[in-house]
Structure 1
Amino acid sequence: MYYFRLNPPRADFAQTMTADEQRAMAEHQEYWQALLAEGRVAVYGPVADPEGVWGLGVLRARDRGEVLAIGERDPSVIAGVNTFDVFEIMGGTTG
């Protein structure tokens, strides 16, 4: 299991997205919905951090490289809107 953090370009991103950023985020949402439907994602969604909203995902993958590839194919990353970080969840379990 891997923890995926989607990093927006600014703290007020959720409130100030441009039209291009909104399109990229709509494509991002579709991309993650497909990953969820495939069973690759356990949970994902925006986090209401007082410092600024960011995205969280927990993915099932063979290795970190697979998750990095998923992140690199995210439409919002391809569009240059967001960046991301990936961390292994050591010994994670799900219900």
Structure 2
Amino acid sequence: MNEGAGTFVFRLISPRPTFVFDMSDDEREIMAQHAAHWQPLIDAGRMVFFGPVLDDAGSWGLGVVEAEDADEIRAFAARDPVVTTGIGRIELGRMLGGFVRPGEPAAAALG
């Protein structure tokens, strides 16, 4: 089903919670290939955010990307070296709405 243009979020599920800290040399090379795979979307200004996340459960990757075609971005994610080598998987979803900061961050109290 082609959902058309939109903003999509992907979550890279790594093979273990400690992955970011204890990658093997082979895994590190695959992660470099993973970054290179998405670089054209970064260069084109279509990638809103791309990078690793660390939370209480471990490490994983997050990307937010604008795409003209949902099927195309799904196929692109399926060709990611992380997926094709089997060291991880990518979950992809469509963002239904949201808020993007309109400019430079202002100092604000969180209190």
Q: TM-score, normalised by structure 1?
A: 0.88
**Which residue matches 2:9?**
3
2:42 equivalent among 33, 36, 51: 36
Q: TM-score, normalised by structure 2?
A: 0.76
Identity of aligned residues (%): 40
**Which residue matches 2:58?**
52
Aligned length: 95
Structure 1 portions without partners, runs of 5+: none
**Which residue matches 1:81?**
87
**Which residue matches 1:24?**
30
Amino acid at match of 2:50: Y
**Which residue matches 2:96?**
90
Larger radius of gyration: 2
**Which residue matches 1:71?**
77
Q: What's the RMSD between the two structures over aligned residues?
A: 1.5
Superposed CA deviations along residues 50-95 of structure 1, whole A, max 9, x for unmatched, are: 2111000001113331221121111121111110111110134544
| Structure 1 outlier segments of 4+, above 6 Å | none
CA contact 1:5–1:54 (8 Å) conserved in 2: yes
CA contact 1:5–1:57 (8 Å) conserved in 2: yes
